[in-house]
Amino acid sequence: MNDNNYHQQVLIVGGGPAGFATALMLAKRGWTNITVLEKRPTADYYEPDKSFNYLIDGRGQKFTDYIGITEQLPKNGVASTDFYLTKITPDGNRKTLKLPIINPDRKPAYWITRKTFVNLLYQEIEKNWHDSITVIFNAKCVEINKTINGESKLEEIKAIAEIENGEKIKFQPFLLVGCDGINSIVRNTLKKWEKPSSSKFEMNYFPSPSSGLRYKILTLPPKFPLDEKGEELTKSEMAYAVRSAFKDRKNSISLGLLPVKDPDEVRSANIITKPNHNIWELKSGEEMHDFLTKSFPQLSINKIVSSQEAERFALTEGGTFPIPQYCDGFYSKLNGESFIVLLGDAIHSFPPDLGQGVNSALEDVCTLNDALQQSNNNLVEALPLYESSRLPDTKALIRLMQVGYPWQYNQAPIRQKLWNINFLVRLSLSKILPFLITPPAFFLIQNHQLSYQETLTKAERTTRILYAIIAILLLGLASRLG
């Protein structure tokens, strides 16, 4: 690639973690004239139904190390090594424990809210790379076309974005980057262009016990009271699991609160249920407030859930955990010096079971960076290398999502108990026979030095060994009985 191409236009659709990370990576590599389109109004915009907490682990920190912001994570997040959970039963009893599911021998991961992490990336752009990167907020890509240059007869990309006042902006990038999520307009455009000759941009779907579960997020005040008198307040760096007084499957819920660093930040309480739960039938604030009051007698709902929040919560549609999915195509080269590449949820999406959504997206960016490094920024060589390097890991990740920790939402208590037994057996045997048995995939995936392929290979090897042990035991029992 000619160095002059560095100064042609790069258009990134999507200003979430993958989009901002890609922009920063390209800018650090010397690329300029990079534009990021983001539909939200600001980098730190608070959306109640998207107020996720990320766990930035060693995989995600490969990227933060690269751009030099890893030291910002402990300042803005809570370390996994300090992860304490308080369970609150309906009678008000509270029990605090340090969860053993975090491997203390691995690099600390950090719980950080989505808006805080995205804003960290944006502040890095504004501070050090504003000459190379332009971010346009309130901008949505609405159309992507390929046209033929009248003089050169080569294909070119034309993209149209609509901004807040209805004005439309046209772009003609030589590199179009799709970081626009599961319903990516970039990937869907490529899918349309490729039909019927190829299905490489079609998503491949795989069943999972957690896909299809629905969630809502209830916004609670910072430091809200845990008792009627208000004598004990929640701690920002503490996680909470508040259990419902209802026991039947269609009414029982839990409030799950992950830790936040800022003691003055609002708390997001996750409610995850099956699609047929009664909470989805409540359509008014009054009904919802009454339901929450009866569900959580241990909390002073009147003091911590306003009528406005109850109304908003009742009317919101919430979200649904996606089916684990990926596409085989990560890039496209037009008939000319124009390229399209996909990263993040645009190429792989799955439920949040293993906390790998943001980390896998940041690792996508690192893999693309490695490919550009190996090819000296030659996109003709780099993009096929990125795809061939990343696709096997993506397939392994999707498989891990099916078996890693899919029953954690209490959606099927019996299956959850069986899964927990399997988890504890693997964990115990891995300590007794570490040369033969590996820990559960949930632990393995915390080792960022293992690729997703290596993690899956180790987990499947242990499964085969356990099946063999069970078969030997059954044969021995049968011979004795015979």
> Chain-centre distance of CA 355, in angstroms?
6
DSSP 256: E
Strand, helix or coil for residue 376: coil
**Confidence at residue 413, expressed as pLDDT on a 0 to 100 scale:** 86
- Asked whether residue 55 carries a pLDDT value surpassing 60, the answer given is yes
**Confidence at residue 301, expressed as pLDDT on a 0 to 100 scale:** 94
What are 414-457's pLDDT values in tens digits?
A: 888 998 999 999 999 999 999 999 999 998 998 999 999 999 99
What are 244-272's pLDDT values in tens digits?
A: 999 999 999 999 999 999 999 999 999 99
In the predicted model, what is the mean pLDDT of the chain? 92
What are 76-120's pLDDT values in tens digits?
A: 999 988 889 999 999 999 999 886 555 556 788 999 999 999 999
Dihedral through CA 180, CA 184, CA 189, CA 194, nearest 10?
110
CA distances from 246 to 94, 294, 333, 373, 450 (A): 18, 8, 56, 57, 42
Average pLDDT for 201-213: 96
What are 144-177's pLDDT values in tens digits?
A: 999 888 777 788 999 999 998 889 999 999 999 9
Print burial letters for 308-341: b (CB count within 10 Å at least 16), e (below 16): ebbbbbbeeebeebbbbbbbbbbbbebebbbbbb
- Asked whether residue 478 carries a pLDDT value surpassing 90, the answer given is no
- Asked whether residue 370 carries a pLDDT value surpassing 50, the answer given is yes
Written as one letter, the residue type at 28 is K
pLDDT class for 210, splitting at 50, 70, 90? Answer: very high
**Confidence at residue 54, expressed as pLDDT on a 0 to 100 scale:** 95
**Confidence at residue 411, expressed as pLDDT on a 0 to 100 scale:** 86
- Asked whether residue 22 carries a pLDDT value surpassing 80, the answer given is yes
- Asked whether residue 401 carries a pLDDT value surpassing 50, the answer given is yes
Distance separating the N- and C-terminal Cα atoms of the chain: 74
Closest CA relative to residue 258, chosen from 17, 54, 16: 54
CA distances from 26 to 179, 186, 369 (A): 14, 19, 8
**What does the alpha-carbon distance between residue 255 and residue 273 come to, in Å, rounded to a whole number?**
11
What are 284-314's pLDDT values in tens digits?
A: 999 999 999 999 999 999 999 999 999 999 9
Counting residues of the chain whose pLDDT is more than 70, the rounded percentage is: 97
> Which residues, in sequence order, are bridge partners of residue 168?
162
Sheet holding 204-205, edge to edge: 204-205, 325-326, 348-349
Written as one letter, the residue type at 204 is N
Helix (H) or strand (E) holding 84: strand 84-88
The tally of CA atoms less than 13 A away on the side-chain side of residue 16 is 24
Counting residues of the chain whose pLDDT is more than 90, the rounded percentage is: 81
Sheet holding 110-113, edge to edge: 53-56, 110-113, 78-79
The residue length of the chain stands at 482
**What does the alpha-carbon distance between residue 242 and residue 77 come to, in Å, rounded to a whole number?**
22
Closest CA relative to residue 180, chosen from 311, 380, 12, 423: 12
pLDDT class for 211, splitting at 50, 70, 90? Answer: very high
**Confidence at residue 8, expressed as pLDDT on a 0 to 100 scale:** 66
**Confidence at residue 118, expressed as pLDDT on a 0 to 100 scale:** 97
Closest CA relative to residue 53, chosen from 100, 117, 119: 117
pLDDT class for 410, splitting at 50, 70, 90? Answer: confident
**Confidence at residue 177, expressed as pLDDT on a 0 to 100 scale:** 98
- Asked whether residue 6 carries a pLDDT value surpassing 70, the answer given is no
- Asked whether residue 51 carries a pLDDT value surpassing 80, the answer given is no
